């Protein structure tokens, strides 16, 4: 495997903290959510960082490479365009599924794939398609999960190791997600770190979260807890990571607190060399050197270029699709929970998805909470609407459908607010709200389908 570029210590760039990020001392690089930037209109802050020599890595969240369908060529092209526009040394995504095509459902969240042979075959083929389409190397992140799939055939470490061996993809290891999965799924982070191919490490994520009712929520909105820094130290004792990045997506703290978290991370990373016998990632520090000419090649370090991978049988994709559709439908459309899943955990996940969806719609359409009398009445109304209305056409359409649903039911009760909501809806659709009879007809047609 070719040496990975040294990145250093970085932070996730977000518009809300753009000015603070530019002032952070000793910042080596930043990561941006790929879908949140436009290649032709990059934020001025990112342009200034690039001019200073700060590397920028796009981090995708919508490909869904773990889904049953092959990757969307348009999404791959868009991710590649952002890599080129940012001069990125690589792009990253997640080992997750985010949607299904039959029925058409969007999770709005990264959901775990089953660790089965079928799912691994599908993921590997999807990764190879992505690699062939992207202009730079790809790294994939282990995700945080609230629940486990029944009937899994591989451990996390086995799944990741085979993925790397069959595709040559790099790994983005999120130590906060390892902690999440320790609490939520009973997995041992040390066992994962001991067994995965650390020579494939691209970089590391560190983030905060919170525990509620025995469930760890990977919020990216809380300070990094000591237990996550301990996992970073455990990884550092095994390997010299090319890069480590702090993620913060909400409830942004003061600039001094961000700087303090970065300093704590840097202290762990620079604490000392990896333990004897553990690999130092090539290109990640002064110990990096050219490969020895007499070194034996590692057959697991790269996919076998001489042997063309066999295409995945469509039956495997079908089996993965059926399982993912049944699960996602239970999470966002209120259908029964598939056999074998922890029903309590699925309910927790369903509530979390609905709350996240409400937050996204409120950010896209901030007028809605205002018209409905504030955040609490808005959230109550939206969560009631969302129970039977999964996202199928994006969040902007979701906001319009929510407003339409309220108007059809003669809500809100206040006539002034209802007139304001009607005007808001008409301005964005150029139409009149459908009458109740139209709504009933749509509902009946949906049940017949």
Per residue in 116-163, pLDDT (tens digit) is 999 999 999 999 999 999 999 999 999 999 999 999 999 999 999 999
pLDDT > 50? residue 346: yes
How many CB atoms within 10 Å of residue 59?
25
Residues paired with 204 in a beta bridge = 173, 244
Contact indicator for 171, 139 with CB cutoff of 8 Å: yes
Let me know how long the chain is: 449
Contact indicator for 385, 405 with CB cutoff of 8 Å: yes
Residue with tokens 């808001």: 424
Q: Report pLDDT for 288.
A: 36
Distances in Å between the Cα of 309 and the Cα atoms of 29, 71, 210 are 35, 17, 42
Angle in degrees, 0-180, between the axes of helices 73-86 and 117-133, rounded to the nearest 10: 50
Contact indicator for 11, 220 with CB cutoff of 8 Å: no
Residue with tokens 């990112």: 46
Examine residue 408 and say whether the peptide bond preceding it is cis (omega within 30 degrees of 0).
Answer: no
Tokens for 101?
Answer: 């095509």
Query: Distance between CA 11 and CA 245 in Å, rounded?
Result: 5
Q: Could you tell me the pTM of the whole model?
A: 0.86
Q: Report pLDDT for 273.
A: 75
Tokens for 193?
Answer: 């770190």
Helices (H) and strands (E) in the chain, counts: 16, 12
Q: Report pLDDT for 272.
A: 74
pLDDT > 60? residue 31: yes
């Amino acid at each position: 495997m070719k040496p990975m570029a040294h990145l250093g210590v970085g932070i996730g760039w977000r518009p809300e903290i753009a000015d603070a990020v530019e002032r952070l001392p000793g910042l080596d690089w930043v990561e941006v959510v790929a879908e949140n930037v436009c290649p032709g209109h990059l934020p001025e802050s990112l342009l200034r960082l690039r001019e200073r020599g700060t590397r920028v890595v796009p981090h995708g969240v919508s490909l869904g490479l773990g889904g049953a369908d092959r990757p969307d060529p348009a999404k791959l092209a868009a991710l590649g365009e952002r890599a080129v526009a940012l001069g990125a040394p690589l792009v990253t995504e997640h080992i997750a599924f985010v949607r299904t095509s039959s029925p058409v459902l969007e999770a709005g969240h990264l959901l775990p794939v089953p660790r089965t042979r079928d799912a691994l075959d599908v993921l590997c083929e999807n990764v190879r398609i992505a690699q062939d389409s992207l202009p730079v190397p790809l790294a994939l992140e282990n995700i945080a999960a609230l629940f486990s799939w029944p009937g899994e055939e591989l451990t996390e470490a086995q799944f990741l190791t085979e993925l790397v061996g069959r595709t040559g993809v790099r790994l983005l290891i999120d130590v906060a997600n390892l902690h999440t999965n320790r609490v939520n799924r009973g997995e041992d982070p040390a066992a994962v770190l001991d067994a995965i191919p650390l020579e494939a490490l691209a970089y590391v994520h560190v983030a905060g979260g919170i525990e509620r009712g025995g469930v760890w929520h990977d919020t990216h909105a809380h300070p990094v807890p000591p237990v996550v820094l301990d996992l970073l130290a455990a990884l550092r004792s095994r390997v010299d990571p090319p890069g480590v990045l702090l993620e913060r997506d909400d409830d942004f703290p003061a600039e001094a607190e961000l700087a303090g978290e970065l300093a704590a991370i840097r202290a762990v990373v620079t604490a000392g060399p990896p333990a004897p016998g553990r690999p130092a990632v090539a290109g990640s520090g002064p110990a990096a050197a050219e490969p020895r000419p007499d070194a034996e090649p590692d057959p697991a370090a790269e996919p076998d270029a001489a042997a063309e991978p066999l295409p995945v049988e469509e039956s495997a994709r079908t089996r993965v699709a059926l399982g993912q559709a049944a699960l996602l439908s239970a999470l966002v459309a209120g259908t029964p929970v598939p056999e074998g899943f922890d029903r309590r955990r699925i309910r927790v996940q369903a509530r979390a998805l609905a709350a996240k969806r409400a937050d996204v719609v409120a950010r896209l359409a901030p007028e809605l909470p205002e018209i409905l009398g504030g955040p609490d009445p808005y959230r109550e109304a939206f969560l009631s609407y969302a129970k039977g209305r999964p996202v199928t056409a994006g969040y902007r359409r979701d906001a319009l459908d929510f407003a339409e649903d309220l108007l059809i039911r003669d809500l809100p009760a206040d006539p002034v607010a209802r007139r304001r909501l009607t005007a808001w809806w008409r301005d964005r659709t150029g139409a009149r709200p459908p009458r109740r009879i139209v709504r009933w007809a749509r509902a009946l047609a949906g049940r017949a389908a």
